[in-house]
Every structure is written in structure tokens, then in C-alpha cells.
Amino acid sequence: MSVQITWYGQATTTIVSQGKVLLIDPWFSGNPVCPVKHKELKHVDIVAVTHGHFDHFGDVLEVCRRFKAKLISTPEIAWYADGKGIPRGTQALPLGYGGKLKVEGFTISMCPALHPSALFGDEWATQKQFIPDGGPASYVVTTPEGKVVYHAGDTALFSDMKIIGDRFHPELGLLPICGRFNMDTTDASVAAEWLRLKFIIPIHYNTNPDLAADPKELVDLLRSKEIAPEVVILNPGDSYVLE
């Protein structure tokens, strides 16, 4: 059985397995590189959000309402969603670092990330008020057929990636590379070593001039280290099939 991973720009990603759709960090509205709108999505079973910045939280509530999708998030974001009509406990399912849930056949484990963080919800748009979001997360996703995917969200390089590699043995990692608000290609190459990845999909780059990066630099760095991960460079909207 295969798993299809589609990257829509920034950190927005779907992982599709056995007909079930997990959507991570949905930011379609206002995303200048995303080729589709969230209204064009046909089905979503689960939404996982790494943190509350607008380019990760953007369309979370709309997608959850439309599809009645389960929401995986920190407790703080789950309570916020509860106040917006997505009931905590039945639809909004909170996690903490080290916790995991099995939903629609996916086992979703919440891991730390290293990044500034706050929730930019409706209150930001109307009052320029942001809300604590519980801190940034990353996710290890084990699909129904046993494939293990690590979505780093927004993060700097941090040594616990070694623990994530030892504990979960992820096969594929989605790693940010922009180098201004998270890892650059050099740090992403170190993360690939620590996580012992076989495949890497670079994310969170070239959305705007502040996030300019060349993923081919990551390819060259890994070759210079003589380590083997395959770097899968996708255009927004493209998919990769993990066999």
C-alpha cells in the first residue's frame, strides 16, 4: 500500500492513506504560491496544526467546520476551537508533547519544535490581538500501513531530533529550509542526519522574498556529507507517493 503526500506551499501538506486524508497546517486563503483554494478540497478527515501563526492556522476552523474533520492541536488551540463551534473532546482533540492519538487509522504523535509562537485567530484580524497557543509542535504520523512521516512544522534545529529519530524511525521528513524563521539548508542537512531520514521534502520556502531558499543546496550538502537521503523537490500542488 502506498501513501500520497501533497505539498501546497509553506507548511500545508496532505497525507492520504487508504482513502483517509490528514491535512497539516492548512493555509490556502492568502497563500500566494498555493494553486488551489480550500473550497476546492473534496474531503478531509483530520486537521493537525503545528502552531497558531496565520500561515499555519489560517484555514483550520473553516476546513474543520466544512468537513466535520477532527482537529489535532495543543490544548490551548483546542479550547480556542471549542469557542468557535468545534467541540473540544469530540471534534477538537488536544495533545501534549509526548502524547499520541489514533484517529481514522493514523497514529499521530506530538513532538516539540523550536520556534516563536502565538495564535493569530479572528481576534487578530479585527483587533490585532493574538492569543497564547500552547507553543509550537511537530508531528510524527504513522499511517495505517505503517509508514512513518515526520512533519517538522516551523522549527530551528534542536538536539531532540536525535530522540525523535531514535524513538520513531521516520522514513520521510518534511523539513523547513527558509533560514530566516526556521532552519536553513545547512541545519536541515544536520536534521536529516539526526532523524536518519530516507526521504526529505523541503517546505516553508519561496512563499515570499523573506523566505527565499534553494532546495538544491540541501541536495549538495547531503552529497558532500556522503549520506543517502533522497531530496524530493516539489512545486506547490505536486504530490509524492511513498511506497
Tell me the per-residue pLDDT of 127-137, one tens digit each, with 9 for 90 and over: 989 999 999 99
Integer angstrom CA distances of residue 45 from 11, 41, 71, 89, 109 = 18, 11, 9, 16, 17
Residues 214-243 have a mean pLDDT of 94
Radius of gyration, CA atoms only, the chain: 17
3-state SS assignment for residue 195: helix
**Counting Cβ atoms within 10 Å, is residue 36 exposed (0-12), middle (13-18) or buried (19+)?**
middle
Picking from 23-27, 33-37, 121-125, 214-218, which range would have the lowest pLDDT averaged per residue? 121-125
| pTM score, whole prediction | 0.97
Residues 143-156 have a mean pLDDT of 98
Q: Which CATH class is domain 3-242?
A: alpha beta
- Where residue 4 falls among pLDDT bands split at 50, 70, 90? very high
Q: Per-residue pLDDT for 227 more than 80?
A: no
Residues 90-95 have a mean pLDDT of 98
The widest CA-to-CA distance across the chain, in whole angstroms, is 51
Residues 14-23 have a mean pLDDT of 98
Q: Per-residue pLDDT for 110 more than 80?
A: yes
